[in-house]
Amino acid sequence: MTPSPVFILAIESSCDDTAAAVLQNDKVLSNIVANQLIHTEFGGVVPELASRAHQQNIVPVIDAALKKAEVTKEQLSAVAFTQGPGLMGSLLVGSSFAKSISMALNIPLIAVNHMHAHILAHFIAEEGFEKPIFPFLALTISGGHTQIVVVRDFFDMEIIGETTDDAVGEAFDKSAKILGLPYPGGPLIDKYAQLGNPKAFAFTKPRVPGLNFSFSGLKTAVLYFIQKKVAENPNFIEENRNDICASIQYTIVEILMDKLKLAVKETGINQIAIGGGVSANSGIRKTLKEAEQKYGWKTFIPKFEYTTDNAAMIGIVGYQKYLNEKFENNSVISKARIQF
């Protein structure tokens, strides 16, 4: 007898995207994201505005996810939500909603760590995408995190390196801001970088021992470099935008690759999976693919829609937790910071 399918409704609201997805086992039936454009004019995410926008978006987004999946509320096996890390006001919208659904439908409630989800997104069943085999190394690179994680099993992970200051996404976004680009600038740096010379300008790489990262020095180096060049030529940015972006991106990718090489050496694990918003970056994707030939690594790069914040990744962790009956009761609380 084939087991009856598991339908998970997943909700992600940790930062500035309101997202909902419906999964049937490890397959994504729908994956809806409402971006909050309101933050662009402020040059960064405004927490108070984010939670208000989540309040407005959450019902239509969940509705759309169920409709697209052609799954009724009554068919749902469980509801999963992001417990943290993230902005408290934003997290509370998702958790309160998930609790209400769990109570109203009398289905299990599942709490998901957002960073686990960025890693486990690789276990979503997608044609043309292979799933990693345990153990593997995960490089999670987002606007809030930069970590190297040894992933031994779905719920057995260990951080072996992380940033001591800015996250890599912040390095992209802050550099972009210095160049006068709107928030979030990471994708724009990527766009211009593809047209520029990565060796046009040299930025010093930070010296951080072991597997930890530091990105605040790079931001300062970019700032001083731009200030000096603009003092000499007020049109310097406009005239050199592609080369500046390519050089910044090249330096960031080099910093990440240096640490990955060290992590492979120290752990003896050469399967690398990347996750988080910055894994959308074309420079990182290309360099990792080249590393397969160069160093004999096996690399896993998620489908584009599962790189930046989304609820499908919350759903796949929800599915694994459902199989292991890792459920919460209604007193579970959201956590801005959360134990890995």
> Rule CB under 6 A: which residues touch ligand KG4?
15, 142-144, 169, 172-173, 184, 186-187, 190, 276-278, 280-281, 308-309
Owner of token pair 């724009």: 188
Which residue's CB is nearer to ligand KG4, number 90 or number 240? 90
Nearer to ligand KG4 by C-beta: 77 or 142?
Answer: 142
Q: Give strand pairing partners of 147.
A: 140, 162
Cα distances (Å, whole numbers) of residue 69 to 21, 230, 325: 8, 52, 24
Q: Which of 290, 218, 302 has its CA nearest to residue 261?
A: 290
With CB cut-offs between 5 and 8 Å by kind, which of ligand KG4, Zn ion, none does residue 172 bind?
Answer: ligand KG4
Tell me how far, at minimum, the Cβ of 42 lies from ligand KG4, in Å: 15
- 31's enclosing H/E stretch is strand 27-35
What are the percentages of helix, strand and coil residues in the chain, rounded to 5? Answer: 45, 20, 35
Minimum CB distance to ligand KG4 smaller for 94 or for 143 = 143
Smallest Cα–Cα separation from 84: which of 335, 304, 339? 335
Burial label for 265, CB within 10 Å (0-12, 13-18, 19+), is exposed
Among Zn ion, ligand KG4, none, what binds residue 315 when CB lies within 5 to 8 Å by partner kind?
none
By beta-carbon proximity to ligand KG4, the closer residue of 173 and 328 is 173
Euclidean distance between CA atoms 122 and 120, whole angstroms: 5
Chain positions 128 to 187 lying near Zn ion, rule: CB under 5 A, are 142
Tally of residues, the chain: 340
Smallest gap from residue 43 Cβ to ligand KG4 (A): 12
Whether the CB-CB separation of 284 and 277 falls below 8 Å is answered with no
Query: Is the Cβ of residue 108 or residue 315 nearer to ligand KG4 in the bound state?
Result: 315
In this chain, which of 177, 309, 315, 334 binds Zn ion, going by CB under 5 A? 309
Which residues within the stretch 75-114 sit at the binding site for Zn ion (CB under 5 A)? none
Q: Which stretch binds Zn ion (CB under 5 A): 151-159, 163-171, 241-249, 301-309?
A: 301-309
Residue 184 touches which of Zn ion, ligand KG4, none (Cβ within 5-8 Å per kind) = ligand KG4
As measured in angstroms, the least distance from the Cβ of 301 to Zn ion is 16
Q: Output 14 or 102, the one with its CB closest to ligand KG4.
A: 14
- The site partner of 108 among Zn ion, ligand KG4, none (C-beta below 5 to 8 Å per kind) is none
Which span sits near Zn ion by CB under 5 A: 103-111, 231-239, 286-294, 303-311?
303-311
**DSSP codes, 119-164:** HHGGGS--TT-PPP-SSEEEEEE-SS-EEEEEEEETTEEEEEEEBS
Selection from Zn ion, ligand KG4, none that 328 binds (CB < 5 to 8 A by kind) is none
Tokens of 323: 């199989």
For binding to Zn ion (CB under 5 A), which residues are involved? 142, 309
